[in-house]
Amino acid sequence: MDIVLKTRTKEHVVTFWNKTQDEEIKRLFPFSVESLEKALVLFEESMKEDALSYGKVIYFEGKYVGDIWCYSIDESDEKMAMLSVVIFEKELWGKGIATEAAEAFINEVFNKYDIGKIGAFTYSDNHGSIGLLKKIGFSEIETFVEDGVESKYFEASIDRFRGVADKKI
């Protein structure tokens, strides 16, 4: 599959913001950023040496189609980070793009940071994200309700990714 992970730029942030204002995407993904201006500030913070987030953009067949990032990176106490993956081109959902991108990205994160596990949240009715997380080896830890929306929390340890740590896309 023709998937490439590239470095994020301000232009990617603007495109991502615009694409993710779609009502169906907003219903499926728990976004916490409420404005493009805030998204750009967070992007600038992610570029700093001591940033607690790290991300890439996903290209499929030469076209920018989504983002993947880790946030709340904690190399001291819990030794973990949180994962988020969004393919904003809806016609590409279910094609395995997020799966391949996530496996490569997670391996990169485990090699880059001193962490032992990665967590992920998703809404309980986002069956695509739940399927992705299970497919790449995340285990469901709990179901909870926040702001009236049922969500699920998943985790995967570095051990799940040993043996494929050198996988590149």
Structure tokens at 153: 């929390």
165 pLDDT above the threshold of 50: no
User: What domains are defined for the chain?
Assistant: 3-161 (3.40.630.30)
Is 95's pLDDT higher than 60?
yes
Torsion of CA 146, 149, 150, 154, to 10 degrees: -60
Q: How many residues does the chain have?
A: 169
* Residue 26, amino acid: K
Encode pLDDT of 57-85 as tens digits.
999 999 999 999 999 999 999 999 999 99
Q: What is the pLDDT of residue 163?
A: 52
Residue 97, classified by CB atoms within 10 Å of its CB into exposed (0-12), middle (13-18) or buried (19+), is buried
The Cα angle at residue 51 between residues 58 and 104, in degrees rounded to 5: 30
Q: Pick 56 or 168 by higher pLDDT.
A: 56
Q: Which helix (H) or strand (E) holds 138?
A: none
36-46 and 10-19 are packed helices; what angle lies between their axes, rounded to 10 degrees?
A: 140
- Tokens 């896309």: give the residue: 169
Cα 19 to Cα 101: distance, rounded to the nearest angstrom: 19
Q: What is the pLDDT of residues 3-30, one digit of tens each?
A: 999 999 999 999 999 999 999 999 888 8
Q: Which two tokens stand for residue 140?
A: 């469901």
